[in-house]
């Protein structure tokens, strides 16, 4: 995927961060959220390569479990603890 491509009509790719067996992680800008300086919010996007190969049920369950763990750590309506810098906030899930 090339730079400056919009993903889900919202996220503009900046660069690749890493690749693995199931997909890739990219650095992007959220074009709908800006900070106080007017800079787009940087986000990391994990993209699963569904069309590259057939995933086993175990791999799909592992990804779903990972997604649910992230949601459980930071869930809406829950008092938000001070987060460790290595814990991310989930902003969006896109199919």
Q: How many CB atoms are located within 10 Å of the residue 26 CB?
A: 22
Global pTM?
Answer: 0.65
Given a cut of 50, the residues of the chain with pLDDT beneath it are none
Residue position matching structure tokens 């750590």: 73
Position 11 scores a pLDDT of 92
**What is the spatial distance between Cα 14 and Cα 12, in angstroms, rounded to a whole number?**
6
**What is the spatial distance between Cα 13 and Cα 11, in angstroms, rounded to a whole number?**
6
């Amino acid at each position: 995927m090339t730079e400056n491509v919009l993903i889900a009509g919202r996220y503009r790719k900046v660069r690749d961060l890493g690749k693995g067996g199931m997909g890739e992680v990219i650095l992007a800008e959220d074009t709908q959220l800006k900070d106080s300086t007017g800079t787009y919010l940087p986000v990391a996007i994990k993209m699963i390569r569904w069309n590259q190969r057939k995933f086993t049920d175990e791999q799909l369950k592992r990804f779903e479990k990972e997604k649910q763990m992230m949601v459980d750590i930071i869930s809406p309506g829950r008092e938000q603890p001070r987060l460790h810098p290595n814990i991310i906030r989930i902003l969006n899930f896109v199919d």
